[in-house]
Amino acid sequence: MSEGRLAGKVAIVTGGGSGSGIGATCERLARAGATVVAADINEQTAEATATRIRDAGGRALAVQFDLLDSASIAALAETAMAGFGRIDVLHNNAANTSPQVFPKDQGILDMDSEVWDAVFAANARGTMEVTRAVVPRMIAGGRGGAIINTSSGAGQMGQMAMSVYGPSKGAINAFTRYAALQFAPHRIRCNALVLPVVLTRGLESLFTQEQIDDVVSRTPFKEPTRPADVAAVVEFLASDDARLITGKLWEI
């Protein structure tokens, strides 16, 4: 695993415990030679990701943190530095996807302000705080860096539900452009993934087969987007092959 286009790079992936979700990126980056920090609120699933990578011959560490807990975010960056000495890649991927919260995120007129705050703070402020903790370490490393933010089509359009999830992802899109501009002098790039419905195991269990068929029928190739398709784009954006690409929203 020391060969590959990410050899020598250290990558933090938040939401890295979701091995059957977009956290599958962890294993893809490891296969490309990166050392991976799988960061998640769920310590067990993060540890499982790191163990799978190590069992396959890669280098990985699991860190428990919470997007809503600033001290844990600072500790995440410190633990990555203590373990591996540098940070080159940050995939800001964790979000409040809680099955307890999602059903409460409906129309604006029914919005509970506590639900708004919980989702917006985790998704938007959390992304900012992880970035704020990591970028000084990237700068200190002197080799630039790559930030990839997981956004959503819900941040680009109006919908009848997901009235805080969507705006929180819209905020991430805007944040991506601000970060790209502010960090360019340090050769740190920042891009966002504007994802469609991605057929993770979590979504497969929530959707009926009819709903999945409907989503798939509206795609150009009549094929579902899967976590592996997202991970391939993350690997590219994390690599030096994308060295001139920054401030872009990637509609996958």
Instruction: Examine residue 249 and tell whether it contacts ligand NAD (CB under 6 A).
Output: no
Instruction: Examine residue 162 and tell whether it contacts ligand NAD (CB under 6 A).
Output: no
CB of residue 237 vs ligand NAD: minimum separation in angstroms?
15
Instruction: Examine residue 148 and tell whether it contacts ligand NAD (CB under 6 A).
Output: no
CB of residue 152 vs ligand NAD: minimum separation in angstroms?
4
Q: Which of residues 201-230 bind ligand NAD (CB under 6 A)?
A: 202-203
Rounded Cα–Cα distance for residues 76 and 155 (Å): 27
CB closer to ligand NAD out of 33 and 79:
79
| H helix and E strand count, the chain | 9, 7
Rounded Cα–Cα distance for residues 80 and 122 (Å): 21
Q: Which of residues 19-78 bind ligand NAD (CB under 6 A)?
A: 21-23, 40-42, 45, 65-68
207, with CB counted inside 10 A (0-12, 13-18, 19+), is: middle
DSSP3 helix / strand / coil % (the chain, rounded to 5)? 50, 15, 35
Rounded Cα–Cα distance for residues 245 and 243 (Å): 6
The residues assigned a catalytic role are 165
The torsion angles phi and psi of 225, rounded to 5 degrees, stand at -80, 135
CB closer to ligand NAD out of 45 and 191:
45
**Which member of 26, 53, 148, 198 binds ligand NAD (CB under 6 A)?**
198
CB of residue 145 vs ligand NAD: minimum separation in angstroms?
20
The torsion angles phi and psi of 2, rounded to 5 degrees, stand at -80, -15
CB of residue 7 vs ligand NAD: minimum separation in angstroms?
26
CB of residue 31 vs ligand NAD: minimum separation in angstroms?
18
Q: In b/e form, how buried is each residue of 108-128, taking b as 16+ CB within 10 angstroms?
A: eeeeeeebbebbbebbbbbbb
CB closer to ligand NAD out of 30 and 195:
195
User: Minimal CB distance to ligand NAD: which residue?
Assistant: 21
Rounded Cα–Cα distance for residues 250 and 235 (Å): 13
Region from 26-34, 74-82, 88-96, 231-239 binding ligand NAD, contact rule CB under 6 A: 88-96
**Which member of 32, 61, 95, 162 binds ligand NAD (CB under 6 A)?**
95
Max CA distance (Å), the chain: 53
CB closer to ligand NAD out of 72 and 246:
72
- Residue pointed to by tokens 């050392």: 35
Positions in the binding site for ligand NAD (CB under 6 A): 15, 17-18, 21-23, 40-42, 45, 65-68, 93-97, 122, 150, 152, 195, 197-198, 200, 202-203
